[in-house]
């Protein structure tokens, strides 16, 4: 996801000298096109993330279209005060590019895990949260992101390869997309978890179970109308995210449907409310914490039971 975005951003930057990319001593190789071909549009601030956010804010205030890249804990948690007071408060259209959502940097351990980020930024006014889970979402929404007039956080997951979308769709920030249309069960997912959810749907089809899968690529603003429609017409609702339940997609959905009449049972597949001290590759960690397609499949098969008899 990250590489697809950066490569496409470079193509836009070649035509628009107003686009600037800042990084905090990261992205070697990834940003070579910027470093060598657009050196006046690339700033390596060094390991000084608070300063990086302040510089980005000043450049944005002066009219530059600023993109800031780092691994999520260093992009958001370390300089949070600057994001809150400089970017959010002033509604500056800075684009925050966060690498390593969830447990993608599992081998680096707890310092690099990112499972509180969505909750953190949901607290801030004016900030949009975009969690692409598919190449098509980036391809179709990149131009909107570049031209966005308010702060926006882009959370990069690990999905690569071809698209899981089988039909041509319209994409819009703030609107969910139906990946697979089914019945009685709905799965809301985003980011890295979108492909795992899609693989689970394909596996469940073998058991004559046909869930609807919806990509909630924009967590804020949330597509409340779409959520209400599918919650009110489903028996079971599953929310799959590589974030803590608190503050994430599950929380966002429940906060927005208090007056919706429904008979659905809700299930959260998310990360636990604790510091994850495990160190290992992300495949191992996602399996351990129940966020792979076979975990999703197993839970739905187990819970389907009497609800459909």
What pLDDT digit, counting tens, does each position of 204-231 carry? 999 999 999 999 999 999 999 999 999 9
pLDDT digits (tens, 9 = 90+) for 14-66: 999 999 999 999 878 889 999 999 999 999 999 999 999 999 999 999 999 99
| DSSP bridge pairs for 269 | 240
Please give the pLDDT value at position 89.
98
Q: Do residues 156 and 281 lie in contact, with contact meaning Cβ atoms separated by under 8 Å?
A: no
pLDDT at 218: 98
Contact 289, 276 (CB under 8 A): yes
The alpha-carbon radius of gyration of the chain (Å, integer) is: 19
Say what the pLDDT of residue 159 is. 64
Closest C-alpha to 297, from 217, 185, 175: 185
Q: Is the pLDDT of residue 309 over 60?
A: no
Token pair recorded at residue 60: 């944005």
Residues 12, 13, 19: CA angle, nearest 5 degrees: 120
For residue 157, give the nearest of 196, 213, 201, 110 by alpha carbon.
Answer: 196
Residue with structure tokens 């058991």? 207
State the pLDDT at residue 167.
78
Predicted confidence (pLDDT) per residue in 58-93, tens digit: 999 999 999 999 999 999 999 999 999 999 999 999
C-beta separation of 274 from 245 below 8 A: no
Query: Per-residue pLDDT averaged across 106-131, rounded?
Result: 97
Question: 15: which residues sit within 8 A by CB, 6+ positions away?
Answer: none
pLDDT at residue 27 in the model: 77
Query: pLDDT digit string (tens) for 154-187?
Result: 999 876 667 899 878 999 999 999 999 999 999 9
Q: Quick one: pLDDT at residue 307? A: 54
Q: Would you state the pLDDT for residue 229? A: 96
Taken in order of first residue, the domains within the chain and their CATH numbers are 2-155 (3.40.50.970), 177-308 (3.40.50.920)
Tens of pLDDT, residues 226-267: 999 999 999 999 999 999 999 999 999 999 998 888 889 999
CA-to-CA distance for 132 and 98, rounded, in angstroms? 12
Per-residue pLDDT of 132-154, as tens digits, reads: 999 999 999 999 999 999 999 99
Nearest to 197 by CA among 179, 183, 184: 179
Work out the percent of the chain whose per-residue pLDDT is above 70: 97
What local confidence, expressed as pLDDT, does residue 308 receive? 56
């Amino acid at each position: 996801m990250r590489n697809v975005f950066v490569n496409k951003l470079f193509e836009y930057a070649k035509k628009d000298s107003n686009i600037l990319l800042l990084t905090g001593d990261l992205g070697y190789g990834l940003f070579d096109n910027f470093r060598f071909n657009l050196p006046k549009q690339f700033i390596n601030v060094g390991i000084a993330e608070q300063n990086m956010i302040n510089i980005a804010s000043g450049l944005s205030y002066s009219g530059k279209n600023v993109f800031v890249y780092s691994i999520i804990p260093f992009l958001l948690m370390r300089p949070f005060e600057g994001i809150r007071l400089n970017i959010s408060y002033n509604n500056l259209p800075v684009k925050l590019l966060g690498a390593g959502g969830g447990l993608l940097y599992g081998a680096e351990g707890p310092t690099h895990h990112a499972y509180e980020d969505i909750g953190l930024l949901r607290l801030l006014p004016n900030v949009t949260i975009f969690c692409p889970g598919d190449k098509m979402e980036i391809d179709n929404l990149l131009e909107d992101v570049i031209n966005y007039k308010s702060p926006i956080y882009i959370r990069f997951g690990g999905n690569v390869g071809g698209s899981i979308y089988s039909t041509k769709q319209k994409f819009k920030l703030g609107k969910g997309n139906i990946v697979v249309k089914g019945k009685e069960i709905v799965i809301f997912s985003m980011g890295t978890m979108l492909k795992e959810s899609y693989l689970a749907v394909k596996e469940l089809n073998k058991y004559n179970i046909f869930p609807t899968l919806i990509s909630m690529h924009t967590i804020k603003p949330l597509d409340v109308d779409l959520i209400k429609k599918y919650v009110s017409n489903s028996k079971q609702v599953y929310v799959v995210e590589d974030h803590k339940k608190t503050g994430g997609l599950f929380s966002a959905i429940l906060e927005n449907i208090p007056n919706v009449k429904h008979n659905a049972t809700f299930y959260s597949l998310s990360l636990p409310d604790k510091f994850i001290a495990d160190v290992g590759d992300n495949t191992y960690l996602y399996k351990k914490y129940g966020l792979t397609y076979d975990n999703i499949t197993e839970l739905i098969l187990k819970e389907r039971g009497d609800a459909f008899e």
